[in-house]
Amino acid sequence: MTTSRSRGALAHLAVLPAVGVALLVAVLVTAVTFATPSNADTTWSVVPANADGPDGRSVIDLELAGGQQVVEHVAVVNRSTQPVDFAIDANDGYLTSKGYFDMRPSDAKPTDGGSWIAVPEKVTIAAGATSVVPVTVSIPQNATPGDHPAGVTASLETVSGQVRVQNRVGVRLNIRVTGDYVAKVAVSDVQAEYTGSWNPFAAGSVEVTYTVANVGNVRLVADNRVLTSTFVGENNWSDPSAAKARELMPGGSRTFVARVPGAWPLGPIGTTVTVIPSPAGKPIPGVTAQRMAIDTTVWALPWPQLALLVLLILAPFAVRLVAAWRRKRIEKLIMLHGKGTPQEA
């Protein structure tokens, strides 16, 4: 559950993690020609509910067939000391570039799952009270199978100076239309770059950039692995658990960067990116996502090691040259001072 406090100042877009968190906060700013501060201390929250009130869920998960309709509910809790008129809206959901769930602005016309949701335009809630708002989801008969993310928000506008700020708090809806589910990813734009060390006794690293796209129709999470190999061995890199938990929506993509240490510059370094996808949330019976792998090669020349080798080869010659120069200098000094012949010296 998330609580929002409206503020009479310019706010920035705020997004909460998609996994295990139902609520999102978005702020839409528009200029106005008047200024009347109001609702400056209003706080509220929105959570999934049944007809009787909050039911403990974090998101609303629905799996419906084309033509089917269901009525869900969200509970809007007014935590302030005054009655408030909240605007209610529904819209399409999406993932940000970092993999967090967000919702399209309220003035944007929904074109996917958000367009299938009907909610009242506004609700008036007394101070400290909770209102249960019906959410009607109607799946079109010809809806494409798979996931269609959406959300429902309760919003409130405040004014400060000549800026109007719309604060939105909402609930995420994972709408899945039954049919032939496809769990598939594509890996592209793999680029590898070697970063060496000037210390000839230290290995360098390979930085790998690649893009993973969800080309199926269900939400996926990806276990990404990078393997580098040289003549002297292999090195592995795996995504941390936090990155694995972030989803990929159907039609969406995200770019990853991995740094694999322990790579010695011995010519070609083979790099393999492997993505092992799986459906987000509960497993889908009979649906298995195929792993994808793509290879690339980066060249790394051992300049520090070559420089050290050259120094080792030239060192004996340098010692002999210095010794010969010193011997000639001593002979010259002896001759100049008439102290005897070089042989006697």
Q: Note the pLDDT of residue 338.
A: 65
Q: Note the pLDDT of residue 199.
A: 77
Question: In the predicted model, what is the mean pLDDT of the chain?
Answer: 81
Q: Note the pLDDT of residue 243.
A: 66
Q: What is the mean pLDDT of residues 14-35?
A: 32
Per-residue pLDDT at 313 exceeds 50: yes
Q: What is the pLDDT of residues 172-196, one digit of tens each?
A: 999 999 999 999 999 999 999 988 7
Per-residue pLDDT at 200 exceeds 90: no
Q: What is the 3-state secondary structure (H, E, C) of the chain?
A: CCEEECCCCCCCCECCCCCCCCCCEEEEEEECCCCCCCCCCCEEEEEEEECCEECCCCCEEEEECCCCEEEEEEEEEECCCCCEEEEEEEEEEEECCCCCEEECCCCCCCCCHHHHEECCCEEEECCCCEEEEEEEEECCCCCCCEEEEEEEEEEEEEEECCEEEEEEEEEEEEEEECCCCCCCEEEEEEEEEEECCCCCCCCEEEEEEEEEEECCCCCEEEEEEEEEEECCEEEEEECCHHHHCCEECCCCEEEEEEEEEEECCCEEEEEEEEEEEEECCCCCCCCCCCCEEEEEEEEECCHHHHHHHHHHHHHHHHHHHHHHHHHHHHHHHHHHHCCCCCCCC
pTM above 0.75, yes or no: no
Q: Note the pLDDT of residue 25.
A: 37
Q: What is the pLDDT of residues 85-103, one digit of tens each?
A: 999 999 999 988 777 889 9
Q: Note the pLDDT of residue 339.
A: 53
Better-predicted residue by pLDDT, 332 or 144 = 144
Confidence of residue 329 (pLDDT cuts 50, 70, 90): confident
